[in-house]
Structure 1
Amino acid sequence: MITMDHLERLENKSIHIMREAYNQFKNLGMLWSIGKDSTVLLWLARKAFFGHVPFPLVHIDTGYKIPEMIEHRDRLAKEWNLDMVYGQNRTALNEKQTFPDGTTTHLDCCKLLKTQALENTLNGKWPRYRMNHKKSQYEIDSNNEAFEGIIVGVRADEEGSRSKERYFSPRNTHNDWIIEDQPPEFWNQYKTDFHPGTHIRVHPLLDWTELDIWEYIERENIPMVSLYFDKGEGKRYRSLGCWPCTKPVDSHAANVHQIIAELKTGKFVNIAERDGRAQDKEDGGGLEVLRRDGYM
C-alpha cells in the first residue's frame, strides 16, 4: 500500500478541491497576490493541470504594492505563460482617496483599493487589464464576463476570521460573506450546487499552516519573491501587502531552510503572521469587518 506523508496529503486534497472547482464552475479564476500562499496555490494548480493553468490569474493592484512584487508577478507570468489579469480602483487612486494621501483610514483605504476593486474586477463592471504575451504588455481586456468562482489562498490558521471559512464558500451578488449561512462540510463532502448568481470562493489551502507552506516551498523549490528573506539588515517580510501599511519583522532568515528553522524554534509562536499589517489593528486585531464586505 502506498502511504503519503503530511505534505503529500495536503497537496493531494488541495489538488482534488481545485479540480472539483474547475469541473463545477463555468467561469473560474484564481487570485494571485504574489505572496507565498497564493504562489504555492499557483504551483499546485500547475501540478493539478499538468503544467497548464486553465483559468486566469487575477491580481488586485492597489498601486501601493512593493515594486519587487509586481516585477516578480510579471516575470513568472511570462516564464509560465500565465493568463494574467489585474484590476484597480483607478478612480480612488486618481482622486487620492487613500491612506498614504492622508484622506482615509487604513480600513477605508483597504475597502476602496482592495474590496471595491476586487468586487468590480470579478463582476466585470470595471476595466480589467490582461497580459498580451506577444507584446509583453498589459491591455484592456475585452472580456468582461463575471467570474462565477474564484480560487483563493486563504489559510485557517493565518487570521481569526479565516478560520470560519469553508472550502467552498458562497457569497451573494455583492460579494458579501454571510458567516451564519455557510454550508456544512463533513467527511470531505463539499456543497458545489448553489443558486444562480451566487459567487463562490474556493479555499484549497484551508488546512495548511505557515510551517506547511514553507516546508512545501522547500520541498518543491518554488520561486519566491526575495522580500521574504533577510538581505543582511536583520529584517524580512513575513506577510506581504501594501508598502505604507506593511512592516518587516526582525529576522536573520536569509533562505527557506532558515525560515523553517525559525518557525520551528518558536520565535514567532505568540506573534500573529499578519502582526505587521496596520489595517488588522484598526479592525480590532482581525479582518472580519473587511472580509464580511468581500475582502480576500
Structure 2
Amino acid sequence: MNYLEQIENKSIHIIREAYSNFKHLAMLWSIGKDSTVLLWLARKAFFGHVPFPLVHIDTNYKIPQMIEYRDQLAMEWKLNLVYGQNEKALAEKQTFPDGNITRIECCSLLKTKALRDTLSGTGKRYKINHSTGQYDVWDNNEPFTGVIVGVRADEEGSRSKERYFSPRNVENNWEISAQPPEFWNQYKTEFAPGTHVRIHPLLDWTELNIWEYIQRENIPTVSLYYDQGEGKRYRSLGCEPCTLAVNSCAKNVDDIVEELKTGKFSNIAERSGRAQDKDDGGGLESLRKDGYM
C-alpha cells in the first residue's frame, strides 16, 4: 500500500468504528475540500450509501457557489442533508456584516451557537426533500451523540490538540486536558451521559494529501478553489465577508497539487485568508473551546 491508501484505510476504519459505537451519529459537512473528502470516504465505507445525516451550519453568508454545490451534490448522491441556522441572530441583525458585532461574536452566534443548538436538537433543523429539492422542517430533535468532523491537525494550531475520538461535555465545551489518550489505534468510545463525541478521521491528513486524494479519486469540488482567470483562488472556504482569496494561477486539481509540492504556501497558514482567525489571536482555540468546528 502507498501512503494515500494507508490513510484512506485508517479513516474508513474510524468512520466504521464511529457508526458501530454511536446510536445517534451525524457528519458535519462544511462544503469545503476536507469535509467533502470525508463524505467521499463515508460513501466508500458503506458502499455508496451514507447511513447517517449530514449536518451543515448555514450562516446565511456563505459564498453562493458553495450553497449551489451543496444542494446539487445532495440531490445527485441522495444525501440525508440537514441544515441548522441561528435564525434569531439573523432576524435581529446581530452579525458582523450588519455592523453590530465583531467577527468573533458573529462566529460565536452564527456558527458555534447554531451548531450547538442543531446538534442538541434544541434548534430548528431543516432536511432536504428529494422530491422537491427544497428543505422542510425536520421533526427529529434527538440529540446527536457522535459527530464526524473533517478536522486536520496541520490546518490550524488548536486542531493539532484533538484526538480521533474527542469528547465535548454537556455544555458542548472542549476540555483539552480531559481528552483520553489514544495508543496503538485503541480508541475510547464510551463517555458520561450527556457527552457528545467529535470523531476526526482526517486528523493525520495534510493539505497536500487531501488534494492528492481528490486528484486520485476525481472528487467533485467547489469551483472557488480554482483560478477563474484573475490569478486568484480560495484556499480555504468560509463566510463571504470574512474569507479572502490567495494569489494563485492554479486552474485545476493537478495545478494545485503541483503548487503545494513546490512549497509556495509552506510559510503561509492555510486559513490565513480567514479574518476571524486573526481576530481570535491568530488561532481558533477560544472559539473551539466553546464548540466551534
Quick check: TM above 0.5? yes
Matches of 1:137 and 1:98 in 2, distance apart? 26
1:18 to 15, 18, 27: 15
Q: State the Cα distance separating 1:224 from its structure 2 match.
A: 0.3
Matches of 2:74 and 2:22 in 1, distance apart? 24
Structure 1, unpaired ranges of 5+: none
Local SS of the residue matching 1:244 = helix
Local SS of the residue matching 2:82 = strand
Mapped pair 1:43 → 2:40: yes
- Counterpart of 1:141 in structure 2 is 138
Matches of 1:257 and 1:187 in 2, distance apart? 35
Match runs of 1:118-133 below 5 Å: 118-133=115-130
Alignment RMSD (CA, Å): 0.4
1:77 to 74, 94, 100: 74
For each residue in 1:90-127, what CA deviation from the matched residue of structure 2 results, as whole angstroms up to 9, or x when unmatched? 11001100000001111000000000000000000010
Percent identical pairs in the alignment equals: 74
- Counterpart of 1:231 in structure 2 is 228
Mapped pair 1:254 → 2:256: no
- Counterpart of 2:98 in structure 1 is 101
- Counterpart of 1:158 in structure 2 is 155
Local SS of the residue matching 1:223 = coil
Question: Could you list the runs of 4 or more consecutive aligned residues of structure 1 that deviate by over 6 angstroms after TM superposition?
Answer: none
For each residue in 1:141-193, what CA deviation from the matched residue of structure 2 results, as whole angstroms up to 9, or x when unmatched? 01011101100000000000000000000001121000010000011110011
Local SS of the residue matching 2:215 = helix
- Counterpart of 1:243 in structure 2 is 240
For each residue in 1:1-21, what CA deviation from the matched residue of structure 2 results, as whole angstroms up to 9, or x when unmatched? xxx100000000000000000
Local SS of the residue matching 2:242 = coil
Matches of 2:169 and 2:68 in 1, distance apart? 34
Mapped pair 1:178 → 2:175: yes
Q: State the Cα distance separating 1:260 from its structure 2 match.
A: 0.6
- Counterpart of 2:217 in structure 1 is 220
Matches of 1:111 and 1:195 in 2, distance apart? 26
One-letter amino acid of the structure 1 residue matched with residue 217 of structure 2:
E
One-letter amino acid of the structure 1 residue matched with residue 185 of structure 2:
N
Match runs of 1:247-286 below 5 Å: 247-286=244-283
For each residue in 1:18-45, what CA deviation from the matched residue of structure 2 results, as whole angstroms up to 9, or x when unmatched? 0000000000000000000000000000
Local SS of the residue matching 1:7 = helix
- Counterpart of 2:111 in structure 1 is 114
Matches of 1:135 and 1:36 in 2, distance apart? 27
Local SS of the residue matching 1:29 = strand
For each residue in 1:46-87, what CA deviation from the matched residue of structure 2 results, as whole angstroms up to 9, or x when unmatched? 000000000000000000000000000000000000000000
- Counterpart of 2:54 in structure 1 is 57
- Counterpart of 2:191 in structure 1 is 194
Local SS of the residue matching 2:98 = coil
TM-score by length of structure 2 reads 1.00
One-letter amino acid of the structure 1 residue matched with residue 281 of structure 2:
G
TM-score by length of structure 1 reads 0.99
Matches of 2:60 and 2:288 in 1, distance apart? 21
Local SS of the residue matching 1:96 = coil
Q: State the Cα distance separating 1:135 from its structure 2 match.
A: 1.9
Matches of 2:185 and 2:227 in 1, distance apart? 39
Matches of 1:263 and 1:217 in 2, distance apart? 14
Matches of 1:201 and 1:133 in 2, distance apart? 28
